[in-house]
Structure 1
Amino acid sequence: MSSTVTDTRTTAELRGGLGQVLLATLASTAGFWAWMAIAPLQGLYATSMGLGQGQISLMLATPVLVGALGRIVVGALTDRWGGRRMFTFVLLAGVPAVLLVALAGSIKSFPLLVFAGFLLGVSGTIFAVGVPFSSAWYAPARRGFANGVFGMGMIGTGVSAFFTPRLAQQIGYLPTHLLIAGIMVVMAALCWFFLRDSPAWTPSSQALVPKVVGALKLRITWQMSFLYAIVFGGFVAFSTYLPKYLTTIYPDEVDAVGAGTRTAMFAVAAVVARPIGGVLADRFGPKVVSLLSLAGIVAAAYVVGQEPPEGIVTGVTFLLMAAAMGLGMGGLFAWVGPSTPPDRVGAVTGVVAAAGGLGGYFPPLVMGATYQAETNSYWLGLWLLVLVGALALVVAGMMRDARPKKA
């Protein structure tokens, strides 16, 4: 997914990289907000359209699926056209989708809402633009930090969870979506006029299909994809489904706004932990960070699976789970580069990013399919997370650690 980057660039040539990465992070925040625009209002859609568990799961999962698969294509286009152009394109392409969501909700059309969610997935591909863009601004030994900072843009999921239901209550459903669309247009303009590609970046003309096929032939691609599907996929899945989970399991204690607040706190914990994971991976090695992350996810999922009473225990457990996922996201992307042949890093990164998005697609469907109405419980879906996380621990433990070379 990243383009050819010359590792011998001097610090002077890469000066200003932090400002560029921070602007890219803001752009990513807007993209993630749009990507998750449906989830915070799922209760409204379920009530007004009379949706069942399966329909709700499909509604929530569709943007995630498109955002995941689209990352491979968008990553390849970023190789060719650069981050400045692609950030602008992805943000503008998401605007019609947000407006269609507003229309679907206004006329109470479930088919149109699912179609709008399909188009909304384009906004989720923004991650595939930012990883190569940010990496190119830093020397190899500091790319864990660069990707960690850019990864903080996923706070957009928390922004969506916190502000979308509140704005819908205060200014109205339609004005809320017009505001989101307006923010995306403004961010697209900022990217076009102020973002610039790193001097270490050069366009790639390599065809997409051979690039992806070459990446899929590497064992490291499949290993990293599996691990990232758990840490990032788990984050996306909980960011999408947590409002539904909380209002279902704790209907008397948590309303839609309260669920949005808790989901926003979940996102913030992961966002704060992500750059920490990248820095720790640069210093101590990505394998150690990844193992700690996976162990934390397994432990937290086990506690959540016991469905404790809503309160401090539940809140702290979800925050710890989010922090573990954030550490893993930062650590794993610092593991990809030094573990992959230099000419295939971009393609491998694109596939791994797509796998992370796919990891967020299936859990909402599984949670909806395994929900037990008689006992009002999602225990089976949560236990599946525990088992898959334990398997990931074994896989990560058997892999070779790798650290980036000092510049």
Structure 2
Amino acid sequence: MSTQTTHPMQSRTKRWIDDWRPEDQDFWEGGGRQVARRNLVWSIFAEHVGFSVWLIWSVSSAFLLSQGFEFTPQQLFLLVALPNLVGSLLRLPYTFAVPLFGGRNWTVVSAGLLLVPTLLFAYAVQRPETPYWVFCVIAATAGFGGGNFASSMANINFFYPADKKGAALGLNAAGGNAGVALIQLLLPVVVGGAGIFGLVQASGSGIHLERAAWFYAGLALLATLAAWLRMDNLTSAVSSPREQLGVLRNRQTWVMSFLYIGTFGSFIGYSAAMPLLIKLNFWVPDPAPLGTGIFFAYYAFLGAGIGSLTRPLGGWLADRVGGAKVTLGAFVAMVVFTLAVIAVLQRVTPNPTADPAIATSNSALFPWFLGFFLCIFAATGIGNGSTYKMIPSIWRTQAQRATPDGTPERVAALTRATRQSSAALGVIGAVGAMGGFLIPLAFSAPWVEDPVSATKGAFAVFTAYYVLCAGVTWAAYLRRPHPARAHALAGAEI
């Protein structure tokens, strides 16, 4: 643990820090920065593994048929959606666990819990007689990985000063989000389904999905050990559940939750659904082994990869020009590029009979579909980073406006605002992640005759939602407030 002469980090044990003052410049430069950075690095790693396990079904579901399982497209989309539902519900208790048990302690527990979905996955995929409902239960346990995000973000929020939260939270989130891209890239390689950049690894023994489970179980153990040895708990991060639940009464919590459904909900939902979207609309299995059209395994990781890379950019931009302005720009871009995707889908031919000729004709449109879809992913990443910058800024601004400058009341209010904004990060993250459950269900749409029509209808609904989000962002945070509402939050400060 780092210490210094003028501003010691007092500790009651070697993994609890009692004196933590990141807003004090001397304290920060005298050792605080190094401690915060170390915790950020290992938080990113643990969250990265969590996200990977969370999205393990997004790619593996597309391989289940080749393993001998007979599931319908609607059943596969449900397997993709269930981890997102459970992950979103777990984000609230995971957030509250940080002040109750300590950020380092809970990272150890949450990383260890990832062994449950990975080991169960390894067991089930080797047995074609496994009932579908068992797969649903196992897929639901993958939601443990989704809960990790909330506790990780809440923990890192305590470590950094206000002017560096945007970049730190952006990096932390991007490291986790990158887990989505990497598992979608590496899982086909690990299980023997495909190589990287089109180099197919045809194995005579077929596809072995259990290999991916064993691989990520090992990484979960490594993340658990790293958190135990290298991370810290902060005494100042401790608060009561009652104080944390107080954020539910704050209108800003629900406004930001609404916006985060549009940004992160879209990112995680599209990431989960992208492999199946490509497979159902642009590929048919004949002739084996590669089929005809676009093989999803070569492209599924690109969307999540782009969204992960642009998330820290969104936080960086928000630190400099204001989170509300960046968020509004992200939603405008999402509207434009979603309309472009719909325009491409208007020319795609439904392929209910798995006709190779139709798949070939659709393949010519795939570069346009992929290009516009990746632009949506880029916008969601920027929006994710900017919205998470806005959250601590909102609570800090409220504390500053409620107390006189330079008083003990101001200091206490800012400390309380940090705790409340960390709780808000969890609540908003939980609500926003619901988009990851709803989007795959919208694409499956069993009441629609063909996959293309279901996909077009879903994108039309999403476009309308993004327009509404853009309007809410402008009205709540960028519109000049009426003098009678001087206490309202100004966009320039957010």
TM-score, scaled relative to structure 1: 0.91
Gaps of 5+ in 2: 1-18, 193-202, 348-363, 399-416, 478-489
What whole-Å deviation, never above 9, does each CA across 1:167-191 have from its counterpart, x for those lacking one?
1116832222111111111121111
Instruction: State the match for 1:327 in structure 2.
Output: 382
From 69, 77, 87, the counterpart of 1:49: 69
Work out whether residues 158 and 422 of structure 2, in 8 Å CA contact, stay in contact via their aligned partners in 1.
no
What whole-Å deviation, never above 9, does each CA across 1:280-310 have from its counterpart, x for those lacking one?
1011000110011111111111111222643
Work out whether residues 5 and 136 of structure 1, in 8 Å CA contact, stay in contact via their aligned partners in 2.
no
Q: Distance in 2 between matches of 1:371 and 1:291?
A: 34
From 421, 429, 446, the counterpart of 1:353: 429
Q: Distance in 1 between matches of 2:251 and 2:461?
A: 25
- Which residue identity does 1:202 align to in structure 2? S
SS class of match (2:56): coil
Instruction: State the match for 2:458 in structure 1.
Output: 381
Q: Residues 265 and 288 from structure 1, CA distance in 2 versus in 1: closer, same or farther, beyond 3 angstroms?
A: same
- Which residue identity does 2:238 align to in structure 1? S
Work out whether residues 162 and 257 of structure 1, in 8 Å CA contact, stay in contact via their aligned partners in 2.
no
Instruction: State the match for 2:108 in structure 1.
Output: 88
Work out whether residues 247 and 253 of structure 2, in 8 Å CA contact, stay in contact via their aligned partners in 1.
yes
What whole-Å deviation, never above 9, does each CA across 1:95-142 have from its counterpart, x for those lacking one?
121111122222232211111111111111111122122222221011
The structure with the largest helix share of the pair is 1
Deviation at 1:327, TM superposition (A): 0.4
TM-score, scaled relative to structure 2: 0.76
Report the count of equivalent residues: 399
Q: Residues 54 and 130 from structure 1, CA distance in 2 versus in 1: closer, same or farther, beyond 3 angstroms?
A: same
Instruction: State the match for 1:159 in structure 2.
Output: 182
Work out whether residues 337 and 404 of structure 1, in 8 Å CA contact, stay in contact via their aligned partners in 2.
no
Gaps of 5+ in 1: none
Q: Residues 173 and 246 from structure 1, CA distance in 2 versus in 1: closer, same or farther, beyond 3 angstroms?
A: same
What whole-Å deviation, never above 9, does each CA across 1:143-165 have from its counterpart, x for those lacking one?
00000110112100011111112
Q: Distance in 1 between matches of 2:137 and 2:118?
A: 11
Work out whether residues 166 and 318 of structure 2, in 8 Å CA contact, stay in contact via their aligned partners in 1.
yes
Instruction: State the match for 1:233 in structure 2.
Output: 265
Work out whether residues 88 and 191 of structure 1, in 8 Å CA contact, stay in contact via their aligned partners in 2.
yes
Instruction: State the match for 1:298 in structure 2.
Output: 335
From 199, 211, 218, the counterpart of 2:244: 211
What whole-Å deviation, never above 9, does each CA across 1:10-43 have from its counterpart, x for those lacking one?
3124221223212211211111111111110112
Higher deviation after alignment, 345-354 or 230-239: 345-354
* Identity value in percent: 22
Q: Distance in 2 between matches of 1:251 and 1:385?
A: 24
Deviation at 1:228, TM superposition (A): 0.4
Instruction: State the match for 2:224 in structure 1.
Output: 188
Task: Map 1:249-264 onto structure 2 (within 5 A).
Answer: 249-252=281-284, 258-264=295-301
Higher deviation after alignment, 16-25 or 331-340: 16-25
From 350, 359, 369, the counterpart of 2:445: 369
- Which residue identity does 1:164 align to in structure 2? L
Deviation at 1:211, TM superposition (A): 2.9
SS class of match (1:15): helix
Task: Map 1:2-401 onto structure 2 (within 5 A).
Answer: 6=21, 8-9=23-24, 10-11=27-28, 12-16=30-34, 17-46=36-65, 48-108=68-128, 109=130, 110-153=132-175, 154-169=177-192, 172-197=208-233, 202-207=236-241, 211-212=244-245, 214-252=246-284, 258-306=295-343, 307=345, 309-340=364-395, 341=398, 342=417, 344-369=420-445, 372-374=448-450, 376-377=452-453, 378-400=455-477, 401=490
Q: Residues 274 and 301 from structure 1, CA distance in 2 versus in 1: closer, same or farther, beyond 3 angstroms?
A: same
Higher deviation after alignment, 318-327 or 6-15: 6-15
What whole-Å deviation, never above 9, does each CA across 1:344-385 have from its counterpart, x for those lacking one?
322222110101211211111111116744474311011011
Deviation at 1:268, TM superposition (A): 1.5
Q: Residues 188 and 296 from structure 1, CA distance in 2 versus in 1: closer, same or farther, beyond 3 angstroms?
A: same
- Which residue identity does 1:14 align to in structure 2? G
Higher deviation after alignment, 216-225 or 259-268: 259-268
Q: Distance in 2 between matches of 1:396 and 1:116?
A: 38
Work out whether residues 144 and 281 of structure 1, in 8 Å CA contact, stay in contact via their aligned partners in 2.
yes
Q: Residues 240 and 371 from structure 1, CA distance in 2 versus in 1: closer, same or farther, beyond 3 angstroms?
A: farther
Work out whether residues 46 and 56 of structure 1, in 8 Å CA contact, stay in contact via their aligned partners in 2.
no
- Which residue identity does 2:104 align to in structure 1? R
Work out whether residues 338 and 403 of structure 1, in 8 Å CA contact, stay in contact via their aligned partners in 2.
no
SS class of match (1:107): coil
Higher deviation after alignment, 304-313 or 27-36: 304-313
Work out whether residues 22 and 159 of structure 2, in 8 Å CA contact, stay in contact via their aligned partners in 1.
no
Q: Residues 194 and 116 from structure 1, CA distance in 2 versus in 1: closer, same or farther, beyond 3 angstroms?
A: same
- Which residue identity does 2:99 align to in structure 1? D
Work out whether residues 82 and 136 of structure 2, in 8 Å CA contact, stay in contact via their aligned partners in 1.
yes
Q: Distance in 2 between matches of 1:266 and 1:374?
A: 24
Q: Distance in 1 between matches of 2:113 and 2:158?
A: 25
Work out whether residues 282 and 404 of structure 1, in 8 Å CA contact, stay in contact via their aligned partners in 2.
no
Q: Distance in 2 between matches of 1:97 and 1:367?
A: 25
Q: Residues 375 and 182 from structure 1, CA distance in 2 versus in 1: closer, same or farther, beyond 3 angstroms?
A: closer
Q: Residues 402 and 305 from structure 1, CA distance in 2 versus in 1: closer, same or farther, beyond 3 angstroms?
A: same
Q: Residues 252 and 196 from structure 1, CA distance in 2 versus in 1: closer, same or farther, beyond 3 angstroms?
A: same
What's the C-alpha RMSD, in Å, of the aligned pairs?
A: 2.4
